[in-house]
Structure 1
């Protein structure tokens, strides 16, 4: 008996990728229009933006390829640990409370994982690709190493399935909130939220996290709500005119798409990285 054709399944994945990338292009286009109207930084590299957009397509394609493996890993973890410890309501005001619970849980997990990315050298080698962008703008949103989405899909997000039994639409609502928040936080947009600056992640708040100035290292890790930075001592409240330059302290950047895909393998990976609030000087230590 011949095996069934894989073409229908490949077509489904292609449609998922195309739809996701089309949405990303729309969001980036809207963000770029806002950035042109109220830019925080002028004269950013258009070549750099094109690079980020093309890389976003590759990143999302690789994420789609890994989706089946992440699904298998998630189901295995949830089944092994007995998923759905807490049943969340899906109707009326209870549904709103469920959205808040899921949102806070995911945001806390994102915060914890983000801190690990800056604290563990192996994770920093992956995450430093995101921080290598010297032009901070909406196209940086997907400038993450492709293996990070695999780690989150297999280790981070299944925790929500273990903790809660919840209707898919509630998870979908929180995903949309995080999506808009992620694009907004990475915009090259000069917006002053005043007293609300530390209420929600925003372009100035998150720009400080990407700053190449040592005083800003290891601050403002939050994905959506700065309350986690406040609770765990990593909050940096930006001054009114504080819009620092961004990028790695050693200025390293990928020179090609292949260089971005293989970023952790570069010869000087980790040199000059910021871990635990200080510069890691590997060569100096070896010299001693």
Structure 2
């Protein structure tokens, strides 16, 4: 029955994600920015998530984690050990440090996606005109190997991950990424320069000129503030989202081929935005 383990793991993973989406969709109904988003957009995102997860499982089967292990052993670097959560204050401090460092690398990867040819892969995510929790994984499946290179590799060379500690951190990261994509009219006020939220990230997805290439951070606006890309949300500022060019790419075949068509084209700079 071993041949059933992979399909069952895949089905469990997708089902868990859909349940989490369902819980957040209910939260979105409390105070939505856009009360009547097209159901067809949500349905496309759910179908795309299945495609994305299939490819992601395939990449994991290849063993991308082996790359990090080999690099750690070859370089022999002194790694930062994340403690098991039997000392809550120490674990909380280390978790905060972990997310700060993660966000530093993610900030630059995300910024490069907007300013280099990586935009051809990233613009599918920004084509979302109905930003909501299901938009979280509305990313091209090339995102996984790119994240391995620009984020997983440097983090793997800095930290020694305990299995339980890594599982907890990963779960928190998934929840937070879903939170910041919510279709929720939530203003964090004085906390806006301290921690990201749905309004902060909605501004990043806005196609209005003043919002372009702003608010790249996933967790802490600190990096946007330090590197000059911070846009402070005004109290009732919840702009529409999408590309300035208006494309949506809500077609599975078109979405899969999108970055390759862009890279094979004649453009040498990102088609903004």
Q: Structure 1 length as normaliser, TM-score?
A: 0.85
Separation of aligned partners in 1, 2:145 and 2:9: 17
User: Cα deviations across residues 203-223 of structure 1 (Å, max 9, x unaligned)?
Assistant: 111000000111101100011
Structure 1: 5+ residue stretches without partners: 1-6, 281-288
May I ask how many residue pairs the two structures share in their alignment? 270
Partner of 2:5: 12
Q: CA RMSD in A?
A: 2.5
Question: Which stretches in structure 2 are left out of the alignment for 5+ residues?
Answer: none
| Contact kept? 1:129, 1:260, Cα under 8 Å | yes
Aligned to 2:228: 233
Match of 1:108 in 2: 104
- Partners of 2:48 and 2:252 within 8 A in 1: yes
Residue of structure 1 equivalent to 2:169: 174
Partner in structure 2 of residue 153 of structure 1:
148
Question: Structure 1 residues 33 and 269, CA, compared in 2 at 3 Å: closer, same or farther?
Answer: farther
Higher Rg of the two aligned structures: 1
User: By how many angstroms is 1:18 displaced?
Assistant: 1.7
Q: Kindly indicate whether the alpha-carbon contact (under 8 Å) linking 2:214 and 2:231 is maintained by their aligned counterparts in 1.
A: yes
Alignment counterpart, residue 113 of structure 2, candidates 114, 117, 126: 117
TM-aligned CA deviation for residue 19 of structure 1: 2.1
Distance 2:141 2:227 in 1: 28
User: 1:39-78 residue pairs with structure 2 within 5 A?
Assistant: 39-69=32-62, 70-78=64-72
Q: What do residues 145-170 of structure 1 show as CA deviations (whole Å, max 9, x unaligned)? A: 00111221344213222112242222
CA contact (8 A) 1:35 1:188 kept: yes
Counterpart position of 1:4: none
| Change in CA separation of 1:80 and 1:252 when aligned onto 2, cut-off 3 Å | farther
Indicate if the aligned counterparts of 1:87 and 1:165 stay in contact, CA closer than 8 A. yes
Higher relative contact order (CA 8 A, sep 6+): 2
Q: Does the CA contact (< 8 Å) of 1:87 and 1:166 recur in 2?
A: yes
Structure 1 residues 195, 273: closer, same or farther in 2, change over 3 A? farther
Distance 1:267 1:197, change over 3 A: closer
TM-superposition CA deviations, 1:75-134 (whole Å, max 9, x none): 23333332543344445243333222222211211112111111211x110010000011
Alpha-carbon spacing, 1:49–1:113, altered in 2? closer, same or farther (3 Å): same
- Cross-structure match for 1:183: 178
**Is 2:82–2:165's contact at 8 Å kept on the other side of the alignment?**
no
